[in-house]
Structure 1
Amino acid sequence: MPELDSKQSLPRKTCDHIFFVGFLGAGKSTLAKNLGRMFHRRYVDTDRLVERQQGMSVTQIFASEGESAFRRYETAILQDLALEQSLLVSCGGGIIETEQNIELMRDMGYVVHLDGDLEDSLRQIRRADTRPDFQSVNHARELFWHRLPRYQAVADMTIDIRRKSFTRVAYEVAELLLERDLL
Protein backbone atom coordinates (compact mmCIF):
# COMPACT_ATOMS: atom_id res chain seq x y z
CA MET A 1 0.00 0.00 0.00
CA PRO A 2 1.49 3.38 -0.92
CA GLU A 3 2.13 5.98 1.74
CA LEU A 4 -0.86 8.26 2.22
CA ASP A 5 -0.55 11.88 1.22
CA SER A 6 -0.62 14.30 4.14
CA LYS A 7 -4.18 15.52 3.51
CA GLN A 8 -5.89 12.12 3.10
CA SER A 9 -8.17 11.18 5.99
CA LEU A 10 -8.97 7.72 7.28
CA PRO A 11 -12.36 6.29 8.20
CA ARG A 12 -13.18 5.94 11.91
CA LYS A 13 -12.88 2.48 13.49
CA THR A 14 -14.56 0.79 16.47
CA CYS A 15 -11.65 1.74 18.73
CA ASP A 16 -8.98 4.31 18.08
CA HIS A 17 -5.91 2.22 18.76
CA ILE A 18 -2.74 2.75 16.77
CA PHE A 19 -0.97 -0.54 16.01
CA PHE A 20 2.73 -0.51 15.10
CA VAL A 21 3.87 -3.43 12.95
CA GLY A 22 7.18 -4.28 11.37
CA PHE A 23 10.03 -6.72 11.43
CA LEU A 24 12.15 -7.66 14.43
CA GLY A 25 14.23 -4.74 15.64
CA ALA A 26 12.21 -2.08 13.77
CA GLY A 27 11.73 -0.09 16.97
CA LYS A 28 8.00 -0.66 17.47
CA SER A 29 8.20 -0.80 21.28
CA THR A 30 10.47 2.23 21.50
CA LEU A 31 8.15 4.19 19.20
CA ALA A 32 4.99 3.31 21.15
CA LYS A 33 6.71 4.26 24.41
CA ASN A 34 8.07 7.54 23.02
CA LEU A 35 4.71 8.57 21.53
CA GLY A 36 2.92 7.54 24.72
CA ARG A 37 5.14 9.84 26.73
CA MET A 38 4.88 12.68 24.21
CA PHE A 39 1.07 12.57 24.04
CA HIS A 40 0.19 11.19 27.49
CA ARG A 41 -1.39 8.17 25.88
CA ARG A 42 -1.18 4.63 27.22
CA TYR A 43 1.07 2.24 25.32
CA VAL A 44 1.23 -1.54 25.44
CA ASP A 45 3.35 -4.26 23.89
CA THR A 46 1.53 -7.40 22.75
CA ASP A 47 4.52 -9.64 23.51
CA ARG A 48 4.79 -8.27 27.09
CA LEU A 49 1.03 -8.70 27.60
CA VAL A 50 1.24 -12.35 26.49
CA GLU A 51 4.21 -12.90 28.80
CA ARG A 52 2.38 -11.37 31.75
CA GLN A 53 -0.78 -13.36 31.06
CA GLN A 54 1.05 -16.68 30.60
CA GLY A 55 3.74 -16.18 33.24
CA MET A 56 6.46 -17.12 30.74
CA SER A 57 8.68 -15.30 28.27
CA VAL A 58 7.90 -15.47 24.56
CA THR A 59 10.97 -17.68 24.16
CA GLN A 60 9.71 -20.07 26.85
CA ILE A 61 6.26 -20.23 25.27
CA PHE A 62 7.76 -21.03 21.86
CA ALA A 63 9.98 -23.71 23.43
CA SER A 64 7.37 -25.38 25.62
CA GLU A 65 4.12 -24.91 23.69
CA GLY A 66 5.16 -23.91 20.17
CA GLU A 67 4.49 -20.97 17.93
CA SER A 68 0.85 -21.89 17.30
CA ALA A 69 0.06 -21.62 21.03
CA PHE A 70 1.81 -18.25 21.16
CA ARG A 71 -0.23 -17.01 18.18
CA ARG A 72 -3.46 -18.07 19.97
CA TYR A 73 -2.40 -16.13 23.06
CA GLU A 74 -1.55 -13.15 20.88
CA THR A 75 -5.04 -13.25 19.33
CA ALA A 76 -6.64 -13.40 22.79
CA ILE A 77 -4.64 -10.33 23.83
CA LEU A 78 -5.85 -8.42 20.77
CA GLN A 79 -9.44 -9.42 21.56
CA ASP A 80 -8.99 -8.06 25.10
CA LEU A 81 -7.74 -4.75 23.68
CA ALA A 82 -11.16 -4.23 22.08
CA LEU A 83 -12.43 -3.33 25.56
CA GLU A 84 -10.11 -0.31 25.74
CA GLN A 85 -9.70 2.97 23.88
CA SER A 86 -6.84 5.09 22.56
CA LEU A 87 -3.93 2.69 23.00
CA LEU A 88 -0.59 2.82 21.23
CA VAL A 89 0.12 -0.85 20.56
CA SER A 90 3.54 -2.27 19.77
CA CYS A 91 2.93 -5.58 18.00
CA GLY A 92 5.23 -8.56 17.85
CA GLY A 93 6.87 -9.03 14.47
CA GLY A 94 4.78 -12.10 13.64
CA ILE A 95 1.38 -10.74 14.60
CA ILE A 96 0.51 -10.55 10.91
CA GLU A 97 0.97 -14.32 10.54
CA THR A 98 -2.62 -14.85 11.76
CA GLU A 99 -5.47 -13.61 9.58
CA GLN A 100 -7.69 -13.08 12.62
CA ASN A 101 -5.07 -10.75 14.11
CA ILE A 102 -5.08 -8.69 10.91
CA GLU A 103 -8.87 -8.42 11.01
CA LEU A 104 -8.84 -7.45 14.70
CA MET A 105 -6.27 -4.70 14.16
CA ARG A 106 -8.17 -3.33 11.16
CA ASP A 107 -11.44 -3.34 13.11
CA MET A 108 -10.02 -1.70 16.24
CA GLY A 109 -7.81 0.99 14.84
CA TYR A 110 -5.11 2.04 12.45
CA VAL A 111 -1.99 0.14 11.50
CA VAL A 112 1.35 1.87 10.99
CA HIS A 113 4.03 -0.19 9.26
CA LEU A 114 7.61 0.67 10.21
CA ASP A 115 9.32 -0.19 6.95
CA GLY A 116 13.04 -0.77 7.22
CA ASP A 117 15.89 -2.83 5.86
CA LEU A 118 16.74 -6.31 7.06
CA GLU A 119 20.30 -5.19 7.81
CA ASP A 120 19.04 -2.37 10.05
CA SER A 121 16.81 -4.81 11.91
CA LEU A 122 19.67 -7.24 12.42
CA ARG A 123 21.82 -4.45 13.88
CA GLN A 124 19.06 -3.55 16.37
CA ILE A 125 18.70 -7.10 17.69
CA ARG A 126 20.82 -7.07 20.82
CA ARG A 127 19.88 -10.47 22.18
CA ALA A 128 18.85 -13.07 19.62
CA ASP A 129 18.14 -15.53 22.45
CA THR A 130 15.08 -13.48 23.47
CA ARG A 131 13.65 -13.57 19.93
CA PRO A 132 12.38 -17.04 19.07
CA ASP A 133 11.70 -16.00 15.45
CA PHE A 134 15.42 -15.34 15.03
CA GLN A 135 17.13 -18.67 14.37
CA SER A 136 19.88 -17.51 12.01
CA VAL A 137 20.63 -14.68 9.61
CA ASN A 138 19.44 -16.81 6.68
CA HIS A 139 16.20 -17.68 8.49
CA ALA A 140 15.69 -14.00 9.38
CA ARG A 141 16.18 -13.06 5.71
CA GLU A 142 13.53 -15.61 4.61
CA LEU A 143 11.16 -14.43 7.36
CA PHE A 144 11.67 -10.78 6.42
CA TRP A 145 10.74 -11.36 2.76
CA HIS A 146 7.83 -13.61 3.76
CA ARG A 147 6.37 -11.03 6.15
CA LEU A 148 7.00 -7.83 4.17
CA PRO A 149 3.96 -8.18 1.86
CA ARG A 150 1.75 -8.92 4.87
CA TYR A 151 2.94 -5.79 6.67
CA GLN A 152 2.32 -3.77 3.52
CA ALA A 153 -1.16 -5.24 3.02
CA VAL A 154 -2.37 -4.52 6.57
CA ALA A 155 -0.91 -1.00 6.83
CA ASP A 156 -3.06 2.10 6.79
CA MET A 157 0.16 4.12 6.84
CA THR A 158 3.78 3.24 6.11
CA ILE A 159 6.80 5.06 7.51
CA ASP A 160 10.22 4.55 5.97
CA ILE A 161 12.57 4.14 8.95
CA ARG A 162 15.76 3.57 6.97
CA ARG A 163 18.77 5.49 8.28
CA LYS A 164 16.65 7.43 10.79
CA SER A 165 17.04 7.75 14.55
CA PHE A 166 14.28 6.57 16.88
CA THR A 167 13.63 10.22 17.75
CA ARG A 168 13.23 11.26 14.12
CA VAL A 169 10.88 8.33 13.45
CA ALA A 170 8.81 9.28 16.52
CA TYR A 171 8.44 12.87 15.28
CA GLU A 172 7.54 11.77 11.75
CA VAL A 173 4.93 9.31 13.00
CA ALA A 174 3.54 11.91 15.43
CA GLU A 175 3.21 14.43 12.61
CA LEU A 176 1.49 11.89 10.35
CA LEU A 177 -0.96 10.83 13.07
CA LEU A 178 -1.69 14.42 14.14
CA GLU A 179 -2.42 15.41 10.53
CA ARG A 180 -5.04 12.66 10.46
CA ASP A 181 -6.45 13.63 13.87
CA LEU A 182 -5.48 10.24 15.33
CA LEU A 183 -3.45 11.51 18.31
Structure 2
Amino acid sequence: MPNRANLCLIGFMGSGKTTVGQLLAQKLGWKFSDSDREVELLTGLTIPVLFAYYGEPYFRFLETVVLRDLTARRAHVIATGGGAVLTPANRELLKGSGPVIWLRASPEEIYARTQTSHGRPLLETVARRERIAELLAAREEAYASLCDFALDVGALTPDEVVMRILSWLNGRKRAGKEGVTGCC
Protein backbone atom coordinates (compact mmCIF):
# COMPACT_ATOMS: atom_id res chain seq x y z
CA MET A 1 0.00 0.00 0.00
CA PRO A 2 1.45 3.40 -0.94
CA ASN A 3 2.41 5.53 2.02
CA ARG A 4 1.67 8.88 0.29
CA ALA A 5 3.73 10.53 3.02
CA ASN A 6 6.11 12.61 0.92
CA LEU A 7 6.05 15.40 -1.63
CA CYS A 8 7.78 14.77 -4.93
CA LEU A 9 8.98 17.56 -7.20
CA ILE A 10 9.39 16.86 -10.90
CA GLY A 11 10.32 19.10 -13.78
CA PHE A 12 13.06 19.90 -16.22
CA MET A 13 16.57 20.74 -15.07
CA GLY A 14 16.77 24.36 -14.04
CA SER A 15 13.10 24.56 -13.04
CA GLY A 16 14.02 25.11 -9.38
CA LYS A 17 13.27 21.71 -7.85
CA THR A 18 16.24 21.76 -5.46
CA THR A 19 15.82 25.36 -4.32
CA VAL A 20 12.05 25.05 -3.91
CA GLY A 21 12.38 21.62 -2.32
CA GLN A 22 14.76 22.89 0.35
CA LEU A 23 12.47 25.83 1.17
CA LEU A 24 9.37 23.64 1.18
CA ALA A 25 10.97 21.08 3.49
CA GLN A 26 11.98 23.85 5.85
CA LYS A 27 8.41 25.24 5.95
CA LEU A 28 6.96 21.78 6.58
CA GLY A 29 9.61 20.78 9.12
CA TRP A 30 10.47 17.82 6.91
CA LYS A 31 13.68 16.45 5.44
CA PHE A 32 14.81 17.23 1.93
CA SER A 33 16.52 14.93 -0.55
CA ASP A 34 17.69 15.55 -4.09
CA SER A 35 17.87 12.31 -6.09
CA ASP A 36 20.80 13.53 -8.23
CA ARG A 37 22.79 14.42 -5.11
CA GLU A 38 21.93 11.03 -3.60
CA VAL A 39 23.27 9.27 -6.72
CA GLU A 40 26.50 11.24 -6.34
CA LEU A 41 26.74 10.29 -2.66
CA LEU A 42 26.06 6.63 -3.46
CA THR A 43 28.76 6.42 -6.13
CA GLY A 44 31.26 9.04 -5.03
CA LEU A 45 31.11 10.38 -8.60
CA THR A 46 29.56 13.50 -10.09
CA ILE A 47 26.71 13.22 -12.58
CA PRO A 48 28.95 14.38 -15.49
CA VAL A 49 31.54 11.70 -14.64
CA LEU A 50 28.84 9.01 -14.38
CA PHE A 51 27.47 10.00 -17.79
CA ALA A 52 30.92 10.21 -19.38
CA TYR A 53 32.22 6.87 -18.14
CA TYR A 54 29.11 4.76 -17.69
CA GLY A 55 26.43 6.42 -19.83
CA GLU A 56 22.88 7.53 -19.26
CA PRO A 57 21.37 4.01 -18.90
CA TYR A 58 23.59 3.26 -15.89
CA PHE A 59 22.76 6.64 -14.37
CA ARG A 60 19.04 5.92 -14.82
CA PHE A 61 19.50 2.55 -13.09
CA LEU A 62 21.17 4.27 -10.12
CA GLU A 63 18.43 6.89 -10.09
CA THR A 64 15.84 4.14 -9.63
CA VAL A 65 17.87 2.56 -6.82
CA VAL A 66 18.01 5.91 -5.04
CA LEU A 67 14.32 6.68 -5.62
CA ARG A 68 13.34 3.30 -4.13
CA ASP A 69 15.06 4.35 -0.93
CA LEU A 70 13.83 7.95 -0.90
CA THR A 71 10.18 7.13 -1.61
CA ALA A 72 10.13 4.57 1.21
CA ARG A 73 10.83 7.34 3.71
CA ARG A 74 8.23 9.54 5.36
CA ALA A 75 7.97 13.31 5.72
CA HIS A 76 10.39 14.01 2.88
CA VAL A 77 10.39 16.50 0.07
CA ILE A 78 12.05 14.73 -2.84
CA ALA A 79 13.49 16.64 -5.80
CA THR A 80 14.01 14.34 -8.76
CA GLY A 81 16.36 14.62 -11.67
CA GLY A 82 14.72 16.09 -14.75
CA GLY A 83 14.63 12.78 -16.60
CA ALA A 84 13.51 10.59 -13.70
CA VAL A 85 9.99 10.49 -15.14
CA LEU A 86 11.24 8.63 -18.22
CA THR A 87 11.55 5.37 -16.31
CA PRO A 88 8.22 3.60 -15.65
CA ALA A 89 9.44 2.21 -12.31
CA ASN A 90 10.31 5.73 -11.17
CA ARG A 91 6.86 7.00 -12.11
CA GLU A 92 5.27 4.25 -10.02
CA LEU A 93 7.54 4.98 -7.05
CA LEU A 94 6.84 8.70 -7.15
CA LYS A 95 3.08 8.34 -7.58
CA GLY A 96 2.90 5.94 -4.63
CA SER A 97 5.00 8.15 -2.39
CA GLY A 98 2.91 11.30 -2.22
CA PRO A 99 1.59 14.20 -4.23
CA VAL A 100 3.70 14.88 -7.30
CA ILE A 101 4.23 18.53 -8.16
CA TRP A 102 5.49 19.60 -11.58
CA LEU A 103 7.53 22.77 -11.61
CA ARG A 104 6.91 23.83 -15.18
CA ALA A 105 9.10 26.28 -17.10
CA SER A 106 9.29 27.24 -20.77
CA PRO A 107 12.31 26.34 -22.91
CA GLU A 108 13.31 30.03 -22.91
CA GLU A 109 13.18 30.20 -19.10
CA ILE A 110 15.17 27.00 -18.77
CA TYR A 111 17.76 28.26 -21.22
CA ALA A 112 18.13 31.51 -19.27
CA ARG A 113 18.52 29.59 -16.00
CA THR A 114 21.03 27.06 -17.34
CA GLN A 115 23.02 28.93 -20.00
CA THR A 116 26.08 29.44 -17.79
CA SER A 117 25.82 26.28 -15.71
CA HIS A 118 27.98 23.27 -16.32
CA GLY A 119 27.59 19.76 -15.00
CA ARG A 120 24.46 19.07 -17.03
CA PRO A 121 25.63 16.36 -19.43
CA LEU A 122 22.50 16.35 -21.57
CA LEU A 123 22.92 20.07 -22.26
CA GLU A 124 26.63 20.07 -23.09
CA THR A 125 26.18 21.12 -26.70
CA VAL A 126 26.55 24.30 -28.72
CA ALA A 127 22.87 23.99 -29.63
CA ARG A 128 21.70 24.20 -26.02
CA ARG A 129 18.42 26.00 -26.79
CA GLU A 130 17.43 23.39 -29.34
CA ARG A 131 18.44 20.55 -27.03
CA ILE A 132 16.33 21.98 -24.20
CA ALA A 133 13.29 22.26 -26.48
CA GLU A 134 13.83 18.70 -27.76
CA LEU A 135 14.22 17.13 -24.31
CA LEU A 136 11.36 19.10 -22.84
CA ALA A 137 9.03 18.05 -25.65
CA ALA A 138 10.03 14.41 -25.12
CA ARG A 139 9.32 14.60 -21.38
CA GLU A 140 6.29 16.85 -21.23
CA GLU A 141 3.69 14.08 -21.53
CA ALA A 142 5.34 12.10 -18.73
CA TYR A 143 5.42 15.18 -16.49
CA ALA A 144 1.78 15.97 -17.23
CA SER A 145 0.47 12.44 -16.72
CA LEU A 146 2.33 11.98 -13.43
CA CYS A 147 1.67 15.24 -11.65
CA ASP A 148 -1.09 16.02 -9.19
CA PHE A 149 -0.37 19.74 -9.43
CA ALA A 150 1.46 21.72 -12.12
CA LEU A 151 2.82 25.17 -11.45
CA ASP A 152 4.34 27.57 -13.96
CA VAL A 153 7.42 28.88 -12.18
CA GLY A 154 8.87 31.26 -14.76
CA ALA A 155 7.74 34.56 -13.27
CA LEU A 156 7.72 33.41 -9.64
CA THR A 157 10.37 33.59 -6.95
CA PRO A 158 11.18 30.37 -5.09
CA ASP A 159 9.28 31.71 -2.04
CA GLU A 160 6.22 32.40 -4.21
CA VAL A 161 6.40 28.87 -5.63
CA VAL A 162 6.52 27.43 -2.10
CA MET A 163 3.55 29.53 -0.98
CA ARG A 164 1.48 28.36 -3.96
CA ILE A 165 2.34 24.73 -3.26
CA LEU A 166 1.41 25.13 0.41
CA SER A 167 -1.86 26.81 -0.59
CA TRP A 168 -2.65 23.92 -2.94
CA LEU A 169 -1.87 21.40 -0.20
CA ASN A 170 -4.09 23.25 2.26
CA GLY A 171 -6.91 23.23 -0.30
CA ARG A 172 -6.58 19.47 -0.65
CA LYS A 173 -6.59 19.06 3.10
CA ARG A 174 -9.73 21.20 3.48
CA ALA A 175 -11.43 19.21 0.72
CA GLY A 176 -10.63 15.97 2.55
CA LYS A 177 -8.62 14.61 -0.36
CA GLU A 178 -5.80 12.15 0.05
CA GLY A 179 -2.65 14.06 0.59
CA VAL A 180 0.19 14.63 2.91
CA THR A 181 -0.34 13.57 6.48
CA GLY A 182 0.45 16.21 9.07
CA CYS A 183 1.27 18.93 6.57
CA CYS A 184 0.35 22.56 6.72
After TM superposition, is the score higher than 0.5?
yes
Identity %: 27
Residue 127 (structure 1) shift: 4.3
1:54-84 per-residue CA deviation (whole Å, 9 max, x = no partner) reads 1001111000100000000000011112431
Residue 15 (structure 1) shift: 3.6
Contact kept? 2:107, 2:129, Cα under 8 Å: no
**Aligned position for 2:177:** none
Amino acid at match of 1:93: G
Residue 14 (structure 1) shift: 1.9
Match of 1:180 among 143, 155, 172: 172
Does 1:123 find its partner at 2:127?
A: no
Contact kept? 2:70, 2:78, Cα under 8 Å: no
When residues 82 and 148 of structure 1 are mapped into structure 2, their CA distance, relative to the original with a 3 A threshold, is: closer
> Gaps spanning 5+ residues in structure 2: where?
174-179
Distance 1:156 1:81 in 2: 19
Contact kept? 1:15, 1:84, Cα under 8 Å: no
Greater relative contact order (Cα < 8 A, sep 6+): 1
When residues 48 and 126 of structure 1 are mapped into structure 2, their CA distance, relative to the original with a 3 A threshold, is: farther
SS at match of 1:20: strand
SS at match of 1:159: strand
RMSD between aligned residues? 1.5
Does 1:76 find its partner at 2:55?
A: no
Amino acid at match of 2:8: F
SS at match of 2:156: coil
When residues 13 and 110 of structure 1 are mapped into structure 2, their CA distance, relative to the original with a 3 A threshold, is: farther
The within-5 A match list for 1:155-166 is 155-166=147-158
1:124-154 per-residue CA deviation (whole Å, 9 max, x = no partner) reads 1164421112132211110011111110011
**Aligned position for 1:114:** 103
Paired residues, number:
172
Tell me the TM-score normalized by structure 2.
0.88
Residue 88 (structure 1) shift: 0.2
Match of 1:145 among 115, 137, 145: 137
SS at match of 2:118: helix
Match of 1:89 among 66, 78, 89: 78
Distance 2:118 2:48 in 1: 8
Distance 1:63 1:31 in 2: 29
SS at match of 2:90: helix
